[in-house]
Amino acid sequence: MGGGGGFSPISIISDIVFGGIASSLLGGTPTTGASTTVADTSAQEAALAEAEARRKADRKKTETSLLAKARQADRASQDTVAASLGAPSVATSGLKERLGQ
């Protein structure tokens, strides 16, 4: 009645469910794959955190440098304005105050 040959879907399904094909797709036993994934994830998170810290430090250095340049430009413009008005420069008067003269 049945005919012969062919494939058995039950054996294919049982191989998938019980790990024959599933373990090969996951790259080993499920526990090994899971622990590797956790280690990889934590390593990636650490690398991302380190990269973010480097970016913040670089940004802070850049901001500090730009702020120092802006202050120098501001002082230079104040000295130029004061000199054009005949007043002693701000830097000179600040230095004299520090020296107590």
Dump the DSSP string for 33-63.
HHHHHHHHHHHHHHHHHHHHHHHHHHHHHHH
**In this predicted model, what pLDDT tens digit does every residue of 58-98 receive, in sequence order?**
999 999 999 999 988 888 887 776 666 666 555 666 666 76
d(CA 73, CA 80): 10
Please give the tally of structural domains in the chain. 1
Domain-located, residue 4:
no
d(CA 55, CA 57): 5
Domain-located, residue 59:
yes
d(CA 45, CA 101): 59
Residue 3 has pLDDT above 70, yes or no: no
Which pTM does this prediction carry?
A: 0.41
Domain-located, residue 91:
yes
**In this predicted model, what pLDDT tens digit does every residue of 13-57 receive, in sequence order?**
777 677 655 556 565 554 445 556 777 888 889 999 999 999 999
**Confidence (pLDDT) at 93:** 65
Q: Which domain holds residue 63?
A: 9-99
Domain-located, residue 2:
no
